[in-house]
Amino acid sequence: MNGIKILLITGVAFIAVYFFIRLRNSLFDIILLLSLIAAAIIFIIFPETTNSLAHKLGVGRGADLVFYTSIIIFWFVILKLYARIRKLEQIITQIVRKDAIEEADKPANE
Protein backbone atom coordinates (compact mmCIF):
# COMPACT_ATOMS: atom_id res chain seq x y z
CA MET A 1 0.00 0.00 0.00
CA ASN A 2 1.69 3.21 -1.10
CA GLY A 3 0.90 6.81 -0.22
CA ILE A 4 -1.44 7.68 -3.07
CA LYS A 5 -3.61 4.64 -2.41
CA ILE A 6 -4.07 5.57 1.24
CA LEU A 7 -4.84 9.16 0.23
CA LEU A 8 -7.44 8.14 -2.38
CA ILE A 9 -9.12 5.56 -0.15
CA THR A 10 -9.37 8.10 2.68
CA GLY A 11 -10.98 10.54 0.22
CA VAL A 12 -13.48 7.94 -0.97
CA ALA A 13 -14.25 7.01 2.62
CA PHE A 14 -15.01 10.62 3.54
CA ILE A 15 -17.28 11.07 0.53
CA ALA A 16 -19.03 7.79 1.34
CA VAL A 17 -19.70 8.81 4.95
CA TYR A 18 -20.97 12.19 3.80
CA PHE A 19 -23.39 10.64 1.33
CA PHE A 20 -24.57 7.99 3.75
CA ILE A 21 -25.50 10.64 6.28
CA ARG A 22 -27.40 12.55 3.63
CA LEU A 23 -29.35 9.90 1.74
CA ARG A 24 -30.60 7.11 3.87
CA ASN A 25 -34.06 6.97 2.44
CA SER A 26 -33.88 5.05 -0.81
CA LEU A 27 -32.62 1.48 -1.12
CA PHE A 28 -31.67 2.06 -4.73
CA ASP A 29 -29.43 4.97 -3.81
CA ILE A 30 -27.68 2.92 -1.15
CA ILE A 31 -27.02 0.01 -3.51
CA LEU A 32 -25.77 2.35 -6.23
CA LEU A 33 -23.53 4.16 -3.78
CA LEU A 34 -22.17 0.95 -2.28
CA SER A 35 -21.29 -0.49 -5.68
CA LEU A 36 -19.64 2.78 -6.74
CA ILE A 37 -17.57 2.85 -3.56
CA ALA A 38 -16.63 -0.80 -3.95
CA ALA A 39 -15.58 -0.23 -7.57
CA ALA A 40 -13.55 2.84 -6.59
CA ILE A 41 -11.70 0.98 -3.83
CA ILE A 42 -10.99 -2.05 -6.02
CA PHE A 43 -9.62 0.17 -8.79
CA ILE A 44 -7.47 2.06 -6.29
CA ILE A 45 -5.99 -1.08 -4.76
CA PHE A 46 -5.62 -2.97 -8.07
CA PRO A 47 -5.08 -0.31 -10.74
CA GLU A 48 -4.16 -3.02 -13.27
CA THR A 49 -7.81 -4.11 -13.42
CA THR A 50 -8.67 -0.85 -15.18
CA ASN A 51 -5.98 -1.64 -17.75
CA SER A 52 -7.42 -5.00 -18.71
CA LEU A 53 -10.91 -3.49 -18.82
CA ALA A 54 -9.61 -0.65 -21.01
CA HIS A 55 -7.95 -3.10 -23.43
CA LYS A 56 -11.21 -5.00 -23.79
CA LEU A 57 -12.94 -1.73 -24.74
CA GLY A 58 -10.18 -0.68 -27.12
CA VAL A 59 -8.76 2.09 -24.92
CA GLY A 60 -4.99 2.23 -24.45
CA ARG A 61 -4.61 2.81 -20.74
CA GLY A 62 -6.78 2.24 -17.70
CA ALA A 63 -6.28 5.81 -16.55
CA ASP A 64 -7.67 7.06 -19.88
CA LEU A 65 -10.73 4.89 -19.52
CA VAL A 66 -11.36 6.31 -16.04
CA PHE A 67 -10.89 9.81 -17.44
CA TYR A 68 -13.39 9.29 -20.29
CA THR A 69 -16.02 7.77 -18.04
CA SER A 70 -15.69 10.54 -15.51
CA ILE A 71 -16.27 13.16 -18.22
CA ILE A 72 -19.52 11.48 -19.16
CA ILE A 73 -20.55 11.13 -15.52
CA PHE A 74 -19.77 14.80 -14.89
CA TRP A 75 -21.89 15.86 -17.86
CA PHE A 76 -24.73 13.79 -16.52
CA VAL A 77 -24.37 15.29 -13.04
CA ILE A 78 -24.29 18.83 -14.45
CA LEU A 79 -27.48 18.20 -16.42
CA LYS A 80 -29.17 16.77 -13.35
CA LEU A 81 -28.13 19.82 -11.34
CA TYR A 82 -29.44 22.12 -14.07
CA ALA A 83 -32.76 20.33 -14.01
CA ARG A 84 -32.84 20.79 -10.26
CA ILE A 85 -32.01 24.50 -10.52
CA ARG A 86 -34.73 25.03 -13.11
CA LYS A 87 -37.23 23.30 -10.86
CA LEU A 88 -36.23 25.48 -7.91
CA GLU A 89 -36.41 28.58 -10.09
CA GLN A 90 -39.95 27.69 -11.13
CA ILE A 91 -41.02 27.16 -7.54
CA ILE A 92 -39.53 30.48 -6.46
CA THR A 93 -41.18 32.20 -9.40
CA GLN A 94 -44.57 30.82 -8.44
CA ILE A 95 -44.18 32.00 -4.86
CA VAL A 96 -42.98 35.47 -5.84
CA ARG A 97 -45.76 35.76 -8.43
CA LYS A 98 -48.51 34.75 -6.01
CA ASP A 99 -47.18 37.18 -3.46
CA ALA A 100 -46.86 39.99 -6.01
CA ILE A 101 -50.39 39.53 -7.37
CA GLU A 102 -51.88 39.48 -3.89
CA GLU A 103 -50.18 42.78 -3.16
CA ALA A 104 -51.05 44.37 -6.50
CA ASP A 105 -52.13 47.91 -5.93
CA LYS A 106 -52.28 51.40 -7.29
CA PRO A 107 -48.77 52.84 -7.44
CA ALA A 108 -49.67 55.67 -5.09
CA ASN A 109 -50.43 53.23 -2.29
CA GLU A 110 -47.16 51.36 -2.51
Binding residues for other proteins, rule: CB under 8 A, are 79, 82-83, 86, 89-90, 92-93, 96-97, 99-101, 103-108, 110
Q: Are the CB atoms for 48 and 61 separated by under 8 Å?
A: no
| Interatomic CA distance for residues 49 and 20, integer angstroms | 27
| Interatomic CA distance for residues 98 and 110, integer angstroms | 17
Cα 53 off chain centre by: 23
Cα 92 off chain centre by: 24
Report, in Å, the least distance between residue 33 CB and other proteins: 25
Report, in Å, the least distance between residue 75 CB and other proteins: 12
17 or 85: whose CB is closer to other proteins? Answer: 85
Report, in Å, the least distance between residue 74 CB and other proteins: 17
63 or 96: whose CB is closer to other proteins? Answer: 96
5 or 86: whose CB is closer to other proteins? Answer: 86
Report, in Å, the least distance between residue 97 CB and other proteins: 5
**Which residues, at least 6 apart from 47, have a Cβ–Cβ distance to it below 8 Å?**
62
